[in-house]
Amino acid sequence: MSAPEAVTPTEQLVAVIAGLLEGCRHIVVGASSPIPGSAALLARARSGGRLRVNVLGSQRYNSFTNGGVETFDMAAQGRVDAFFLGGGQIDGEANINLVGTGHYPDGGVRWPGCFGSSYLYFLVPRVILFREEHSRRVFVPRVDFISAPGWSPPGVYRPGGPWKMVTGLGLFSYDRDRHRFRLDSVHPGHSVEEILDNTGFDFDRPEQVPQTPGPDAATLALIRGRIRGEIGETYPRFAATLAGRGTVAA
């Protein structure tokens, strides 16, 4: 089925991330994550309800009674297949910075902090890095502070780590052996040159980078219908954007 003519950038991201969650058994989505949350609910809808999803902060789509503790316990037991992390800064080795900029502890800009990011980065097999803003302010040559490392030296027990990275411009995969990103596709309406201009680190790419596929009509209908209603329980303002209005992106 061909992609619809009008897809908003947000809908594009929801569809892309949902596609990365195929084959998972259990996904946990952290707080303040409406796009990953929508994607997880979309993946669940397409699985026929076989996929377990916990959206932290939701009352209806969260079976945990103590979200942080249960997330950490289940991750340690190998019972969380996918989780999402972002950062104020992300570098080419997939190190993330959630602490702040400048020389620690005297830098002038401070962010909320790490919480359990470094713990989950080590244990969850499919960690998807997500940052809608794609700029050199975010994607830096080297993070100022490593809240969670993208890789670990030999001998360190680490079943988890970065797997994919989704931004507002493109989709990347991460080579855990070479500690390096590879550009897999460019979202509709953008270009490789735009990504190069807005990325502060080097990355691999094929000679011809494909365009990220857009959602088909059935997927778009799910996003604008069922998923809009489900994510609206936790993020009502965000849900209002999933109504088919916005910039044409495909």
The pLDDT assigned to 3 comes to 45
Q: Where are the alpha helices (DSSP H) in 77-189?
A: 117-123
Q: Is the pLDDT of residue 127 over 90?
A: yes
Domain-wise residue ranges, the chain? 9-86+116-135+159-239
Which stretches of the chain are DSSP H helices? 9-20, 34-46, 67-76, 117-123, 192-197, 217-222, 228-232, 236-239
The predicted pLDDT at position 1 comes to: 47
Tens-place pLDDT, residues 34-47: 999 999 999 999 99
The amino acid at residue 224 is: R
pLDDT in tens, 66-123: 878 999 999 999 999 999 999 999 999 999 999 999 888 777 788 888 888 999 999 9
pLDDT digits (tens, 9 = 90+) for 187-216: 999 999 999 999 999 999 999 999 999 999
CATH topology of domain 9-86+116-135+159-239: Glutaconate Coenzyme A-transferase (3.40.1080)
Residues 6+ apart with CB under 8 A from 146: 95, 96, 97
Q: What is the mean pLDDT of the chain?
A: 93
The alpha carbon torsion through 39, 95, 56, 214 (nearest 10 deg) reads -10
Sorted by sequence, the CB contacts under 8 Å of residue 156 that are 6+ apart come out as none
What residues pair up with 20 in beta bridges, in sequence order? none
- 5 confidence band (pLDDT: 50, 70, 90): low
CA 2 to chain CA mean position, Å: 25
d(CA 235, CA 237): 6
Res. 246 pLDDT band, cuts 50 70 90 = very low
| Residue 197, token pair as written in the block | 């201009």
Return the number of other C-beta atoms located less than 10 Å from residue 89's C-beta: 25
| Tokens (6 digits) for 106 | 């005297």
Residue 128 has pLDDT above 70, yes or no: yes
Pick the closest to residue 121 from 179, 152, 68, 162 (CA basis): 162
Global pTM reads 0.93
Instruction: Please name the residue that has the structure tokens 């044409």.
Output: 248
Distance CA 129, CA 93 (A): 12
pLDDT digits (tens, 9 = 90+) for 44-71: 999 998 999 999 999 999 999 987 899 9
Q: Where does the chain show beta strands of DSSP type E? A: 26-29, 52-55, 82-85, 89-91, 96-97, 100-101, 109-110, 126-131, 139-140, 162-167, 170-175, 180-186
- How many CA atoms, within 13 angstroms, populate the side-chain half-sphere of residue 165? 29
